[in-house]
Amino acid sequence: MPAPLGLTPLKTALLMRHALRPSLRPYLLGAVLALPCAAQVQAQQANFDIPAQSLGNALQTFGQQADLQVLYNQDSVQGKRSTAIKGSLQPDQALSQLLRGTGVSYQRQGNTVTLLQSTGAVELGATNISTQELGSTTEGTGSYTTGQSNSATRMDLSLRETPQSVSVITRQQMDDQGLTELAHVMQQTPGITVNRESSEGYVYYSRGFEIQNFQYDGVPSLGTDGGNIRDNYSIGNTLIYDRIEVLKGATGLVNGVGYPSGVINMVRKRPTREFQGHVAAGAGSWDRYTSEVDVSGPLVEGGAIRGRMVAGTGKRHSFIDYQKGEQNVFYGILEGDLSDATTLSVGYDFQKNNDDATTNTSLPVFYKNGDRIKFSRSTNPADKFAYRNQETQHAFVGLDHQFDNDWTFKATVNTRKYTSREIIAGMSSEHVNLDNSQDYGYLPPGGVANFGSNSDEKSFDAYAKGPFSLFGRTHELVLGYNYSHATTRSKRIDGTTTKVIDDVLNWNNSMPYPTDWAWWSTFDVKSTQKVSYAAVILKPTDALNFILGARVNDYDWQIDRVNALRQLPRISTTNSGEVIPYAGVTYDLDDHHTVYASYTDIFKPQPYSLDVSGKSLEPLTGQSYEVGLKGEYFDRRLNASLALFQLKQDNLGENTGVIGVDGFEAMRAIKGATTNGIELEMAGEVLPDWNVNAGYVYQESYDAKNKRVATTQPQHLFKVATTYRLPAELNKVTVGGNMQWQSATSFVDSTFADASNNPLPSHKFTRSSYAVVGLMSSYDFNQNLKATVNLNNVFDRTYYSGIGTYNSIYYGDPRNVMFNVKYSF
């Protein structure tokens, strides 16, 4: 029953106050909680305990507990779910929380609340105001934070309610800061370090250790963990995602095996019930050009069937000589309401990257006598004919059902195919001769490697969650199961060409293309994982919650290797019935602050981490502890957290710098490794029109002999990204920027030898602390047309964005600029 928004004098005054801070963009959905807050001034608090359920039932319970009359049309709540509310709250505050993420707005007059079929927005001047609070979806909110996440427990909890550290990069931050690739997102994610290993390869670290766990829409992706042939998740284009969530610390409950570092969850955009879309084009330094289109909306009247299509393309050169590439991405999804309670979704996404003059390792660091060799930033260690072409395809089918007892069931079937074709050629990371010459090729002398890899992953994921009653209180339970199977075949063919680069500091990257090729090796990797888990949120009081759970893991992994010289031994590992416990507790100190603690075990098989003899390291085991304080401010538009964490690990794999019997860098197991750290983070709107995402982490890792480990990771890391829309007559302009600073890091190269192959003393390479600063500005020509410019590395700082991979280094990008124009409809 649509109706005009009735405004009390107090609400009208508040709206006028907001109108004096004009804004041409759709205002933060959470920011307009000023409307209900105005009415709260004289409102009486009531005790609420309403679990997440169908919106219609939740509204009836709300009316009873608030002693208010709630009027609505059944069509406006059909198929929608409420969020849970509890505690002593003012009615408008409770209702805003109840409606969070539903897209439903309301008006209140006296003791009567009326829901509106539309968003109920009121436009005064250039300001859009809605009564909707932040939910999980970040697109269109204008916010640098989110209202809820389920990456840690599969339950829809706010960041404050989650007893672990979770960072979220929203759609707004990605658009503002020009974060078009997953690596760009990780570079701005608090607590995450990014190490560039090659021209297309990145590795991400949290709390000092590599992140090897990835999710798509919350569903774990197994990959093959095939060491040098593992799938490359770093090529992901962010155009198709609503947000990127990063759970830091051990993923003890829902992600299966994994390091204690964390998990990256890439959440795709979903279809909308109302028509919307945009087209955009960009241009920037080094001949970079991009274009994109995003269209979403109903396919039948009423929106029972809706769809979305996203497509983008880009071409680029590089600050590195001869490098260039092309990227294409496509994403399509359909959603259909089979009934009021059941929704079926079908989706597909595709990404293809073709890159030329690509590197496998990076620039060598030392001469053979241990002296440093220094290259210009533009030096390319690869030959011109080197290339890397990668393609990833996902297909998925999902089913969501809401039961009458307010339980929900969700099942998803996924397939993921990854292919890579590449030629690795050029200088290696081997030490350079004193006359600046070096043996040419991936495997000197004169070796060029042609790799072809194909990965195929299939998975099934299902879980059910909902409320239950015990001892007069309402609690929540989740039960889930995940099955994944992945295979990879990698084939290598070697060619021979010129054996020596005369001068690595002055060569034209144009060695003769090999004319004789011969098969060298084939690797076949298979991995299977089965995960069962259960967790319960017990709520003995309004302020105290206990989250208790466990997962049971079955894991099987094997690799068969054969090369032109011999059949290598099969490497395999099987772990069955491994139980990983999880425990968390939260306690609300007041309406804004919560203290928490969590614990989980660490268990990660390491089949491809081989010692010098070719034997797999034992599984990584240990414990993860975290305690902290979280806060929500300004009607949940701003989240903040302080965390203390400790990781205890045994059999931690560390590079030795020595090539093992299998031809790859050997690992050694470290006993009794302990990491201690502190992490602070703040994300959201600190003042109207001022968004911030900032974080600082200090971490230190030592082994049982008090020797520092993970030295390639900084002990101090600070990041901040921010935007501010100017006031009054300048409100069409938004300005902002970002900065990343990290302390010094190092690695030790112990591979020196004299002419008789006798070992020489090790040498240490140190990367000094550095800061990289970026600026941005945007201008709204009108409500539909917007232009943005991003200036990166403003002070043109020379730094290394990657160190340590095969004892090599990679330079970070020099100063560069990117322009973008976007038209929304």
Confidence class for position 185, pLDDT limits 50, 70, 90? very high
Q: Which pLDDT value is given to residue 616? A: 82
Q: How far is CA 198 from each of CA 151, 442, 695, 714, rounded to the nearest angstrom?
A: 30, 13, 27, 20
The residues facing 235 across adjacent strands are none
624, 600 contact by CB (below 8 A): yes
455, 417 contact by CB (below 8 A): yes
804 and 663, same structural domain? yes
Distance of CA 659 to the CA centre of its chain: 33
**Does residue 27 carry a pLDDT above 60?**
no
Those residues whose C-beta lies under 8 Å from the C-beta of residue 450, and which sit 6 or more positions away, are 422, 423, 424, 492, 493, 494, 495, 517
Find the range with the poorest average confidence among 80-89, 282-291, 413-422, 657-666.
Answer: 657-666
**Does residue 459 carry a pLDDT above 50?**
yes
β-pairing, 241-248 with 165-170?
A: antiparallel
Query: String of b and e for 2-21 (b: at least 16 CB within 10 Å)?
Result: eeebebeeebeebbeebbeb
353, 746 contact by CB (below 8 A): no
Distance CA 724, CA 87 (A): 34
Dihedral of alpha carbons 636, 681, 647, 209, sign: positive
pLDDT average, residue stretch 628-632? 97
Q: Which pLDDT value is given to residue 44? A: 67
pLDDT average, residue stretch 338-366? 94
Instruction: Choose the final residue of a domain: 80, 112, 129.
Output: 129
In a domain, 1, yes or no: no
468 and 422, same structural domain? yes
Q: Which pLDDT value is given to residue 617? A: 85
Q: Which pLDDT value is given to residue 26? A: 32
Find the range with the poorest average confidence among 399-413, 472-486, 693-707, 743-757.
Answer: 743-757
Instruction: Choose the final residue of a domain: 129, 147, 173.
Output: 129
Confidence class for position 666, pLDDT limits 50, 70, 90? confident
In a domain, 441, yes or no: yes
Find the range with the poorest average confidence among 111-115, 223-227, 644-648, 712-716.
Answer: 223-227
Distance CA 17, CA 11 (A): 10
167, 102 contact by CB (below 8 A): no
Question: In the predicted model, what is the mean pLDDT of the chain?
Answer: 86
656, 667 contact by CB (below 8 A): yes
Distance CA 245, CA 161 (A): 16
Q: Which pLDDT value is given to residue 353? A: 96
125 and 191, same structural domain? no
pLDDT top residue among 103 and 62: 62
In a domain, 157, yes or no: no
The residues facing 178 across adjacent strands are none
pLDDT average, residue stretch 260-286? 95
175 and 125, same structural domain? no
577 and 713, same structural domain? yes
CB neighbourhood size of 396 (10 A): 21
Paired tokens of 486:
């992945």
Q: Which pLDDT value is given to residue 20? A: 34
- % of the chain with per-residue pLDDT over 90: 59
Dihedral of alpha carbons 26, 27, 30, 35, sign: negative
**Does residue 554 carry a pLDDT above 70?**
yes
Cis geometry, peptide bond prior to residue 364 (ω within 30 degrees of 0) = no
pLDDT average, residue stretch 37-46? 47
Distance CA 198, CA 188 (A): 20
H helices, E strands: number in the chain: 7, 46
In a domain, 146, yes or no: no
Q: What is the pLDDT of residues 690-709, one digit of tens each?
A: 999 999 999 999 988 888 98
Nearest to 763 by CA among 194, 237, 373: 373
- 3-class SS at 459? strand
CB neighbourhood size of 286 (10 A): 14
Distance CA 183, CA 203 (A): 9
123 and 27, same structural domain? yes
Distance CA 458, CA 456 (A): 7
**Does residue 268 carry a pLDDT above 70?**
yes
108 and 21, same structural domain? yes
**Does residue 16 carry a pLDDT above 80?**
no
Confidence class for position 43, pLDDT limits 50, 70, 90? very low
Find the range with the poorest average confidence among 24-38, 437-451, 538-552.
Answer: 24-38
In a domain, 149, yes or no: no
Q: How far is CA 679 from each of CA 207, 389, 626, 756, rounded to the nearest angstrom?
A: 9, 38, 10, 49
CB neighbourhood size of 309 (10 A): 15
Confidence class for position 429, pLDDT limits 50, 70, 90? confident
Distance CA 324, CA 183 (A): 18
191, 242 contact by CB (below 8 A): no
Distance CA 401, CA 156 (A): 16
Residue entry with tokens 């034997």: 615
Helix axes 55-66, 91-98, angle to 10 degrees: 170
Nearest to 462 by CA among 478, 441, 486, 442: 478
The residues facing 410 across adjacent strands are 400, 463
| Edge-first strand listing for the sheet containing 262-268 | 165-170, 241-248, 262-268, 213-216, 219-221
Paired tokens of 120:
């109920």
Nearest to 586 by CA among 86, 20, 93, 133: 86
Q: Which pLDDT value is given to residue 572? A: 86
Q: Which pLDDT value is given to residue 610? A: 81
Give one word for 60, left, alpha or beta, with left for phi > 0 and alpha for psi -120 to 50: alpha
In a domain, 138, yes or no: no
Q: What is the pLDDT of residues 723-770, one digit of tens each?
A: 999 998 899 999 999 999 999 999 988 878 777 777 778 889 999 999
Find the range with the poorest average confidence among 33-47, 271-285, 295-309, 459-473.
Answer: 33-47
Confidence class for position 117, pLDDT limits 50, 70, 90? low
In a domain, 68, yes or no: yes
CATH number, position 541: 2.40.170.20
Q: What is the pLDDT of residues 66-106, one digit of tens each?
A: 888 888 776 677 667 777 787 778 888 888 888 877 778 88
Those residues whose C-beta lies under 8 Å from the C-beta of residue 138, and which sit 6 or more positions away, are 146, 168, 170, 171, 172, 242, 243
348 and 487, same structural domain? yes
Q: How far is CA 512 from each of CA 426, 494, 495, 515, 759, rounded to the nearest angstrom?
A: 11, 14, 11, 9, 34
**Does residue 523 carry a pLDDT above 60?**
yes
**Does residue 6 carry a pLDDT above 70?**
no
Distance CA 278, CA 295 (A): 7
**Does residue 198 carry a pLDDT above 50?**
yes
Distance CA 363, CA 376 (A): 10
170 and 104, same structural domain? no
DSSP 324-349: EEEEEEEEEEEEEESSSSEEEEEEEE
**Does residue 122 carry a pLDDT above 80?**
no
Instruction: Choose the final residue of a domain: 83, 105, 129.
Output: 129
Helices (H), 146-279: 171-177, 182-188
Distance CA 147, CA 167 (A): 12
Distance CA 814, CA 795 (A): 9
Distance CA 196, CA 235 (A): 12
88 and 182, same structural domain? no
Find the range with the poorest average confidence among 49-53, 681-685, 815-819.
Answer: 49-53
In the chain, what is the greatest distance between 2 CA atoms, to the nearest angstrom?
Answer: 92
Q: What is the pLDDT of residues 802-820, one digit of tens each?
A: 998 888 999 999 999 999 9
**Does residue 775 carry a pLDDT above 80?**
yes
At position 28, the amino acid (one-letter code) is L
By the 10 Å C-beta count (0-12 exposed, 13-18 middle, 19+ buried), 146 is classed as: buried
192 and 114, same structural domain? no
Rg (CA), the chain: 27
Q: How many domains does the chain have?
A: 2
Helices (H), 627-775: none
The pTM for the full model equals: 0.84
DSSP 618-663: PPEEEEEEEEEEEEEETTTTEEEEEEEEEEEEESEEEEEEEE-TTS
**Does residue 17 carry a pLDDT above 60?**
no
At position 147, the amino acid (one-letter code) is G
580 and 511, same structural domain? yes
Q: Which pLDDT value is given to residue 443? A: 59
pLDDT top residue among 101 and 779: 779
Give one word for 319, left, alpha or beta, with left for phi > 0 and alpha for psi -120 to 50: alpha
In a domain, 766, yes or no: yes
Give one word for 435, left, alpha or beta, with left for phi > 0 and alpha for psi -120 to 50: alpha
- % of the chain with per-residue pLDDT over 70: 89
pLDDT top residue among 717 and 13: 717
pLDDT average, residue stretch 555-579? 87
**Does residue 118 carry a pLDDT above 60?**
no
Nearest to 349 by CA among 370, 378, 329: 329
**Does residue 685 carry a pLDDT above 70?**
yes
Q: Which residue segment(s) compose the domain that 661 sits in? A: 165-824
Q: Which pLDDT value is given to residue 78? A: 65
383, 511 contact by CB (below 8 A): yes
**Does residue 290 carry a pLDDT above 50?**
yes
CATH number, position 90: 3.55.50.30
Q: Which pLDDT value is given to residue 166? A: 95
